[in-house]
Amino acid sequence: MALLKPRLMTPARLAASRRNALKSTGPRTARGRAQSRMNGLRNGWSSPAYNNLWLALLEAPPGAVEETARAVLTPEQAAHPKFAELVEIFRQVEIEVATQTRGLFGRAKTWTPRASATPSKAENPQKTIADEKLITPQG
């Protein structure tokens, strides 16, 4: 047996509830709606927009971080600190990778093998399949 009596919904209480429901309609201005759209980004990690940006930046070609971010984000999202921070992280990583790559390969545009690595035509006049498939990276 219940110790408390169930509350009855009286007509006055029902009318008050309906009046209050009409008052709470959410943001009405464009600024308020834009701000409420960004409420899910307080933590940021689980928002679909953040995840879409993350995936797009991972798949972006080298040197296209800014263009990819502009293509994926709306102006409101681009102004948000979470998105700006993620774009900046990708930009810094891109700079660091480019710096390390220059350190490994120098500033040469193409890679050339050492003379001892490939025999000259005079030493080996027969052309092999490996010679045909030799691919040199283009920088």
Residue 61 has pLDDT above 90, yes or no: no
Q: What is the pLDDT of residues 78-129, one digit of tens each?
A: 888 888 899 999 999 988 888 877 665 555 444 454 554 445 555 555 554 4
Averaged pLDDT of the chain: 75
Q: Distance between CA 83 and CA 58 in Å, rounded?
A: 14
> Could you count the other beta carbons within 10 Å of the beta carbon of residue 42?
8
CA separation for the pair 14, 8 (Å, rounded):
10
61 residue type, one letter = P
**Residue linked to tokens 């660091």:** 96
State phi, psi for 124 to the nearest 5 degrees: -135, 90
Question: Do the Cβ atoms of 94 and 68 come closer than 8 Å?
Answer: no
